[in-house]
Structure formats: C-alpha cells, structure tokens
Amino acid sequence: MRVPTSTGIASSPTGAVATSQSTQQWLLALFLWSGMAALTYQVCWQRVLFFSFGTDIESVTIVVSTFMLGLGLGALLGGALADRYPRRIILLFVLAELGIGAFGIASPQLITRGADLFVQSGRAVTAAVTFVLLLLPTCLMGMTLPMLIAHFARNWSSVGVSTGQLYFANTLGAAVGCLAVGFVGFRFLPLDQVIYLAAAINLTVAASGFLRLRMQP
C-alpha cells in the first residue's frame, strides 16, 4: 500500500524542476520581447523628434541621453524595489511593462503636441520638455533588468549567470527589434503604427505575466 506514496514523492521533485525551468525560460522569452519593444521605441521616438526639430543630431542626442539616464535611474529604483518586495517582483515587472505600453500608445501625440506647445520657447525648452516626457518610460524600462536579476538569483542561479542570461535575452531582442523596424516596419507601416505595435508587445508581455501569476498556486 505504500508503493504509490513512495512513487508520488519520488516524482514530485522532477515535476518541480520542470516547472521551475519552464518559468525561467518563459521569463527570458518575455524579456527578449521587452527588449525588442524598447529599441523600437528608441528608433521611432527619434523619428518623431526629427519632425519637431528638423535635424537628426538634436533628436538623436535627446533620445539617447534620455535613454541612458532613464535606464540608470530605473536600475537604481528597480534594485531597491526588488530588495523591498522580493515576493512581488513578477507583479512589479508586469506593472512596469504595462506602464511602458500605456505611454507607448500615447507617445506619438504626446511628444508631438509637447514639442509644438513649446516651439515658440526655443529649442532648448522644447528639448527639456521632451527629455522629461521620455524619462518616465525609460525609467520603467531600466527597472526591469535588476528586478528580474534578483528574481533569477533567488530562485535559480547565481547573480553572474542570471545577469548574463537576462542581458543576453534583452539585448538580442533589442537587436532584432532595431533591424525589424529599419528594414521591415518602416517599409510597410507608418511611424505611429510601428510605435503602437511596440506598445502591443509591452501589453502582451504584461498580460502574459499577469496570467502566469494567476496560475501560480
């Protein structure tokens, strides 16, 4: 009578390992898609600013500098949140992706109207306003990496391995997104629809994360 009980206990660790590996691969896939959306935004927002400033140098400067600062500030905030709420990291990741997607939907009109509203104030003021606008979504983007690193390190592997896996997945997605936008997206879709497509990716990532959370016991 004890044989079935023994078999159940023996098979339980195997099932747990398979579930754990599935969750890890799922998060890596989501982070790859998140990176794809992020670089799509960078390329597209630069194009939007080009129409406002009329020169590529200024639009590139604003977008790249905002991305760098936003990613840095977001990394600090994401690391602090991961330490404070270690059991809610996936939920925080979902909320960050949701926020990025929501801003992405509004960004074509928001950036254009913001630039037009302050166009009489000079390029420096317009650049500052645009810089502040883009700082919010880039901070949200920066939050995701340290949060997922903390989650991976606590559940599966060391900090070094976790960082390498997540950074590779996100960077690969970014490279694919950049190539796809430049060689495919702009050939078949107008600029705003490419941005909406990136927003749809973020919202899909958020929805997938939320559904996964609901499935957990």
Which two three-digit tokens encode residue 81?
């949140």
Percentage of the residues of the chain whose pLDDT score is greater than 90: 59
Which two three-digit tokens encode residue 149?
């690193």
CATH code for the domain in which residue 144 is found: 1.20.1250.20
Residue 184, pLDDT score = 93
Question: Looking at residues 105-132, what average pLDDT do you find?
Answer: 81
Q: How confident is the model at residue 56 (pLDDT cuts 50, 70, 90)?
A: low
Distance CA(181)–CA(142), nearest Å, equals: 21
The answer to whether residues 152 and 162 touch, using CB atoms and an 8 Å cutoff, is yes
Q: Is the dihedral of CA 64, 69, 70, 76 positive or negative?
A: positive
pLDDT surpassing 90 at residue 12: no
Residue-wise pLDDT for 182-208, tens only, equals 999 999 999 999 999 999 999 999 999
Please give the helix or strand (H or E) that residue 124 lies within, else none.
helix 123-155
Q: What is the pTM of this model?
A: 0.86
Question: Domain range for residue 10?
Answer: 3-215
The answer to whether residues 16 and 155 touch, using CB atoms and an 8 Å cutoff, is no
Give how far the C-alpha of residue 130 lies from the chain's centroid of Cα atoms, to the nearest Å: 20
Q: How confident is the model at residue 5 (pLDDT cuts 50, 70, 90)?
A: very low
Length, in residues, of the chain: 217
Residues in contact with 173: Cβ distance below 8 Å, sequence separation at least 6, in sequence order? 31, 32, 33, 34, 35, 36, 37, 38, 39
pLDDT mean across residues, the chain: 86
Distance CA(31)–CA(213), nearest Å, equals: 16
Which two three-digit tokens encode residue 50?
């080009």
| Domains: count for the chain | 1
Question: Looking at residues 55-69, what average pLDDT do you find?
Answer: 82
